[in-house]
Amino acid sequence: MSTQDAQAPASSSTSAQQQHQQQDASGRQPSSASSAAAQLTGAKVELRKVLRSFSDFPIPGIEFVDIMPLFANPAAHNTLVDALELQIQEAFPGGRPDVIVGLDARGFLFGPGLALKLGVGFAAVRKKGKLPGPCVTAEYLKEYGADFFQMQEDAVKPGQKVLIVDDIIATGGSAKAAAELVKQLKGDITGFLFILEIPGLNGRDKLEGAPVSILMDDN
């Protein structure tokens, strides 16, 4: 194991919405936008401290970023979901999506909770052979192998606004395949949201036509 051990972020369980409504230390009511921006900046700092990484997992040469500590502690989990909600408001000003599409398996850790918080539906992209009924299929290559993804044919309705979410973008192969599935279902992809990016793999270059937002982006 390397880097930091899991720590709970200092953040309280105050929701993003509640935080908007609080006054600052001087007693003035800060603008909702600047309050949200400050909350988001603080959350990113705290969440970074919680991540850890493992060398040579699952195969030699891969530096594996472990996101599980984000979910091990309720304060970190709450900070994450609040931060993702704020990131969506900041990065995708066109309004809420109709559906959040999350990728098997780590996109399932926070995608449904985020969809619930936004009051929208959640749809699953699963590895081949796991979903019953008629499905659409797309092949993809990722950082350490090839695979197939599927979605149920009725998971997204034609014209629905779709936000695709996953924990990590590495080569971008998984997210690209998820986008192909949404396009097969005639969904309208409004964007891609990731918690973090593995640098040096140019994953974003594979995702054309919709904005990409990364919560823990260094830029």
* Site residues (vs ligand ADE, CB under 6 A): 62-65, 143, 168, 170, 198
Of the candidate spans 29-37, 91-99, 101-109, 156-164, the one that interacts with ligand PRP by CB under 6 A turns out to be 101-109
Length of the chain measured in residues: 219
Note whether 49 binds ligand PRP by CB under 6 A. no
Residue of closest CB approach to ligand ADE: 170
Note whether 152 binds ligand PRP by CB under 6 A. no
Shortest distance (Å) from residue 199 CB to ligand ADE: 10
Please select the residue that binds ligand PRP; options are 9, 69, 121, 172, rule is CB under 6 A: 172
Shortest distance (Å) from residue 109 CB to ligand PRP: 9
Please select the residue that binds ligand PRP; options are 171, 191, 214, 215, rule is CB under 6 A: 171
Residues 6+ apart with CB under 8 A from 150: 125, 126, 127, 128, 129, 130, 131, 135, 136, 137, 138, 181
* DSSP summary character for residue 216: T
Residues 6+ apart with CB under 8 A from 61: none
**DSSP string over 9-22:** -S--S--HHHHHHS
Shortest distance (Å) from residue 58 CB to ligand PRP: 8
Q: Which is nearer to ligand PRP, 92 or 192 (CB)?
A: 192
Alpha-carbon span 111 to 99, nearest angstrom? 10
Q: Please, what is the angle between helix 74-91 and helix 32-50, to 10°?
A: 130
The footprint of ligand PRP (CB under 6 A) covers 103-106, 142-143, 166-174, 203
